Chain A
Amino acid sequence: MIRLCRTLPVAFVVVLAAISLGACAGAPKSSRLSVDDVEFTAQELSAKLTDSKFLADRDSESPRMVVAINKVENLTTDVIPEADEWYIMERVRGSRSMEALKRLKNIVFVVPIDHIRGGQAQASEFDRLVALGRKPTHEMSATFRSAVRSSGEHRTDAYLCEMRITDLTSRELVFLESVEFKKTAVGKAYD
């Protein structure tokens, strides 16, 4: 009887521990964009811009391009923080040395309009004058889209991030590249 009293609590705790560890074995998987995915997207896009025919075709004699950048447009079902949206664009812009782009390709970047005292809404008269002095000829931006497929506990998100440089005068797309990948998920995170 004493032996049984001693072993019973131990067995109980052991069984509980086994159950709790067993529950963790089937932890839900998420198909949401991770930091690694954002980093991967930025890296791929900057590599594609660096190797692009668009840049290869330009030289110091090409017509001057003044490029304004905008943050990534999010058309996915994910919540992408604004910092991530800027991170991708800034990372792409920073992939080539500004000096080399200016000297060899006659391309200059200007401060994003949103960075001039938080955009038009809060801008003073001076800020507006500064903004007008930028005179961009092109705009560089990107759009993140996704297509979701789900069945039971399985879910897949196909992500496509398209980056483009648009001529603001003619509306022509002078550069366009994209990064595509999928993320899969199993289970419900709220279970």
Chain B
Amino acid sequence: MRIYRGGVVLAAGALVAGLAACSPPKGEQTRRVEITDTTKAERRSAQVQPAALVEFSDQVAQQLVEDLIALQEFNGPTRVNVVFGDIVNKTGIVPTSDFEAFRTRVRQKLLQSSVSRNRIRWIENRQKVEDLRRKELGGAGSDVNQEGANGPSPLAADKTYFLDGEMYRVVRGDDAVNLYMMSFNLSNAQSREVVWTNSPYEIKQTPGR
């Protein structure tokens, strides 16, 4: 009889403990994964894989550093200004913010290279700096393109280049095959002449295989 009661108490205890452990239904935290690893969710998604975006941004930075020495425009007595330009996103399913996130990797990689640092000045978005100046310094001289007591010297348009991106997706068979093509180019702010473009990066993805 005592054994029978003990069994019931034990089983009821296990039930209470089990139910307590289950609630509330919060997600357990997982460990961090390397950015270059491809996860199950990424393999099964039709969107371009983040690992491909990492590889692409590394490739752009590498290629630009290699080509900089040969580019006449980038080998003058003064450094040229480079600003982030537009991203043409014709993928249909990948948010532009994804490309923007990985575009910052290109800038970061280039800032780490002495070849690039000696030739390029990375310039922050005008609106962003104007907002910052307004916030930090008040109204006076807050327009960064106006020369004045507190204002900076404006950027020389002929010495300024935009880093623009183009992303395309060719799709067949209800997302069965997705071919992504991505490239970056540098164009002069004054003439809009394209002075450099990377070899387009292509990746074909077949989600779920």
Contacts and interface: CB of A to CB of B under 8 A. Distances in A.
A120 interface: yes
Interface in A158-191: 158, 160, 162, 164, 166, 168-173, 175-178, 180-185, 187, 189-191
Contact of A150 (B45, B49, B135, B152): B45
Contacts of A183: 30, 32-33
Interface residues on B, range: 35 or more
Contacts of A55: none
B32 A181 contact: yes
B70 interface: no
Contacts of A173: 107, 111, 122-124
Contacts of B11: 10, 13-14, 17
A151 B135 CA distance: 42
* Residue in B42, B49, B208 whose Cβ sees the most chain A Cβ within 10 Å: B42
Contacts of B105: 160, 178, 180
Q: Mostly helix, strand, loop or mixed at chain B's interface?
A: helix
Given A160-B105, A168-B129, A177-B108, A149 B41 contact: yes
Given A149-B47, A182-B33, A24 B22 contact: yes
Contacts of B47: 149
Interface in B107-127: 107-108, 111-112, 121-124, 126
Contacts, number: 195
Interface of A: 6, 9-10, 13-14, 16-17, 20-21, 23-24, 27-32, 34, 36-37, 40, 53, 68, 70, 75, 113, 120, 128, 131-132, 134-136, 139, 143, 145-147, 149-152, 154-156, 158, 160, 162, 164, 166, 168-173, 175-178, 180-185, 187, 189-191
24 contacts: A17-B15, A17-B18, A23-B22, A30-B26, A31-B30, A32-B27, A53-B112, A75-B101, A139-B136, A145-B101, A149-B47, A151-B41, A154-B41, A154-B44, A158-B35, A160-B105, A168-B133, A170-B153, A171-B126, A171-B155, A173-B123, A176-B111, A177-B108, A178-B104
